[in-house]
Structure 1
């Protein structure tokens, strides 16, 4: 049963990784049309809507990666928290996923903006917790196993926390898109257009770094070098 369970978890982990990476690439490409002033506002809004529909799959993938990895880590023996711990982690992340999809459903409303802010605040808790756990383990204090041949798990989690930080910034950008487009729908404003272009330009450079780390996380998970 353990072998079958691990195989299914690996499959789900790969699917989540593909949706995460592919979704981010899709949003990246669509952003060029979102800021294109030569397009009509209606067309730009359609591209923004497409970006949101793609991004929700990337968000789903990234939220599933942690419980999947945590679960596999217990089977591999690199982290000792099984049983009730696994149930709690899965419950937390499934609840978080429901929140994420609810925010997506109401994305064009004040309720959607509010739910998105709640989603962001949850990251303020998760990111420090997993980063501290990873660093503490690498320093030899636990809570995961930090012996030779098992440190890759903590390194991977630490890199994942960095990716969550970048992802949090990109969430800010997409929320900003919504706010700016609501104002641009009322009247043309060159200052808002410049703000939109500036935020997306910075995000594009950050996206390259994002993909490099994602590739690194995948490599460490596949080779387990530490």
Structure 2
């Protein structure tokens, strides 16, 4: 049996999806203890650190899904570019992934917050681009070379773009944890506790939509229904 490039890419794509979905579930469960005021502040911070360590795997999976998908799309002929574009494309995404990991290693510091904001700003550009490309291609307006039987590809890109919107909201919540816990370290603060409770409630609602969207993207890639 010969294992080709497309098979390896497909395997890596599945792994990235697993880390994305599994990581988000881990952060969801850990958040219960992060916002539990009955626990000591040190105990809550330990759970917050665990959440960050789980979340970085999910963030890595999210980022890697796109270049892996674009690489496969190029091999399938959906992306109307030759293989020469793959190396610079991977260079851009490796740089983005490096930024994300740098923000993780510095997440307790002001530098980490600044790096996270840069990471978020990149999504303000990426999300509209993905949605425009995905929806336009579904409407047969390009730029992807797809048609009947291959529309699952732009549909998956569109769902992925929408999930990045929800993920951005969840990133805002996690970024706020650092600032809120700094204030809680100064002493009891009912306002910060109320804000944590409110934000986590919103985050959990978003998480349910997130999981449905991730599952939908996986379904499109696996079943290729249209």
Residue of structure 1 in register with 2:60 after alignment: 60
Match of 2:112 in 1: 112
The number of residue pairs the alignment matches comes to 225
Measure, in 1, the Cα distance between the counterparts of 2:57 and 2:192: 28
Task: Name stretches of at least 5 consecutive residues in structure 2 with no aligned partner.
Answer: none
Q: Could you say which residue in structure 2 is the equivalent of 1:124?
A: 124
Distance 1:83 1:187 in 2: 57
Q: Which runs of 4+ in 1 moved over 4 A?
A: none
2:205 alignment counterpart:
205
Residue 179 (structure 2) pairs with residue 184 (structure 1): no
**TM-score of the superposed pair, with normalisation by structure 2:** 0.97
Query: Aligned partners of 1:225 and 1:79: how far apart in 2?
Result: 19
Query: 1:54 Cα shift?
Result: 0.4
Kept in 2: contact 1:145–1:151 (CA 8 A): no
Query: What corresponds to 1:149 in structure 2?
Result: 149
Using structure 1 for the length normalisation, give the TM-score.
Answer: 0.97
Task: Give RMSD over aligned pairs.
Answer: 1.1
Structure 1 residue matching 2:4: 3-state secondary structure: helix
Structure 1 stretch 71-80 or stretch 148-157: which is displaced more?
A: 71-80
Q: Deviations over 1:172-203 (max 9, x none)?
A: 00001111001101111011100001000111
Deviation of the 1:101 alpha carbon: 0.3
Deviates more, 1:140-149 or 1:10-19: 140-149
